[in-house]
Every structure is written in C-alpha cells, then in structure tokens.
Structure 1
Amino acid sequence: MPSIKQVQITFDCASPTRVAHFWCEVLGYVVPPPPEGFVTWGDYDLSLPPEKRDEWAACQDPSGGGPRMYFQRVPENKVVKNRVHVDVRVGTGLVGEERLAALEAECARLLALGAARGQLLLADEENESCLVMQDIEGNEFCLS
C-alpha cells in the first residue's frame, strides 16, 4: 500500500479569504502565490464573475512541513460541533503552571485576532491541560 505524502485540512466557511488570513496569523503560514498572470489574489478575484469571488482560499506552511489548509465557501452556517478539529500545539513539553501560562499567552494573542475562548480543560491522569477555542467563524480548535 502506498504511503500518503501530503495532507490538506479543509474548512467549510462563509468567507474563505478572511478565515485563511486568520489561520496564517495563528500558524505563521502564508498564502501561496496568485495564479500565473496575476500580481495579487485581489487581481485574480476581480477577474472572476461576482458569484465566484472569494469562493476559496488556501494557506501553507512556508517551510513545507505542515499540512496545507484549504477554505471553501459553503452556503450554510456552522450549527454543530466540529467532528474534526485542529490542535495548535503551543505547550508541547510543558506541564502544570508553565503549560497553563503558555496556553493563556497564546489565547490572548488569538483573541486579538478575533478568536473566541472556550473551556479550559485541566490536566488529569491521562491528558495535559488544553484550551478549547473557536476561530473567527466558530470552528473549534484546541491550544494544547
């Protein structure tokens, strides 16, 4: 059986460009270059019929190590909890108060970008502490 070489995480959303830029800020990702013949993505978008504008966007790890993230416009709003979510690993290797401080510091940075804070899940016998959050369109993710 062949091994998988790349993974893309896809988000359904109302405003792909806005959500892509949010995740670029969260992860240090970048928007890929616009299609050939266009100086900017804005120029590309303006070349499309109005109903096709902001139909999708993407961002990628500039080092090539992380998965590509793809954002596609859908007509319906998010109404239930995600079945899959992204873990943003800011506290790797940290425990106790040191881990909580790292989670809170990153939470404060992301709140300024428009994220929403959710529940803080404290460490137990099996798991270290993590903080549930939501992106600018309500998609859940964890700071772990």
Structure 2
Amino acid sequence: MAARIELTFDTRNAVRLAEFWKLALGYEDEPPPAPFATRDEWVASFGADEDDGGGAWLRDPDGVGPRLVLLDVPEPKVAKNRLHIDVRVDGWAGVLAKVDELKKAGGAVLATFDGHHVVMADPEGNEFCVAG
C-alpha cells in the first residue's frame, strides 16, 4: 500500500483558519478516531494541557484530497512558506468566482495573472494560488 500524505500547518487560530479552508476546498471536519466522542477527548488522551492550543482536522468528503491538520502554536509566522496549496477550479470564470468568495472569507489577493491564476493569502498570510 502506498503512503498517504497529509498537510499540517502551524497557525495562531486553527478554528478560524479551518473555516476558511473548508470553504476554499469543500472540505469537512474529520470526526475523532474511535473510541473518542470528541477531538478534545482524543487530544486529552495524549496528556495535552489545555494551554497547548487547539487544532482542527479536515478531510476531503470524497476521500481524494489530502487531510489537512491545523495546529495552534504560540509563535507568529516569520517567513514565507516553502510549500503552498493550489486550489483548482474550472476555467477563468471559476477562478474569479472562487477568489471573490475567498476574499469575503478573509483572503487577500496578492497578484493576478490574467487568464491563468491568482496568488492569494489566507487570513494568516499563508500564500496559495487559485487556478483554472
């Protein structure tokens, strides 16, 4: 069996960023693993302190895309990401529609390459592209 990848991001506000990425990708919250009823219960099983910060676990409802994990950390982002997400949609009209939707959710346009892609930043400044 081939290994699967998941993408893990350090963040200052996992809950807020999770809402943004669920909108961007059509993802949903991943349920906690059995036998836990909640993610908090699962995290507590590791002996984590309440002050350790929160997290969010997202999945592609179709089971195709990688799992996203967003973990709260105390330190701010200090450099450009070496990895970014490309959000793929159908056609240039789809790109423009997705960009408008993500701007309303707190994203920012950084650069537009007409007819091809738009470079954006999520609410915490992580760069990503929307492309057709």
Q: Calculate the TM-score normalised by the size of structure 2.
A: 0.81
The alignment status of 1:61 with 2:53, answered yes or no, reads: no
Question: How far off is 1:17 after superposition?
Answer: 2.0
Aligned to 2:27: 29
Aligned to 1:8: 6
Aligned to 1:109: 101
Q: For the aligned residues, what is the CA RMSD?
A: 2.3
Q: Which has the higher strand share?
A: 2
Between structure 1 and structure 2, the one with the greater Rg is 1
Aligned residue pairs total 127
- Check 1:113–1:44 CA distance in 2 against 1; reply closer, same or farther (3 A cut): farther
Cα displacement string for residues 4-31 of structure 1 (whole angstroms, at most 9, x for unaligned residues): 3311011111111221222111111111
User: Which stretches in structure 1 are left out of the alignment for 5+ residues?
Assistant: 124-128
Q: How does 1:12-91 map to 2 (within 5 A)?
A: 12-34=10-32, 36-38=35-37, 40-41=38-39, 44=41, 49-54=49-54, 56-91=55-90
Aligned to 2:112: 120
Q: Calculate the TM-score normalised by the size of structure 1.
A: 0.75
The alignment status of 1:132 with 2:131, answered yes or no, reads: no
SS at match of 1:63: coil
Percent identity of equivalent pairs: 39
User: Which stretches in structure 2 are left out of the alignment for 5+ residues?
Assistant: none
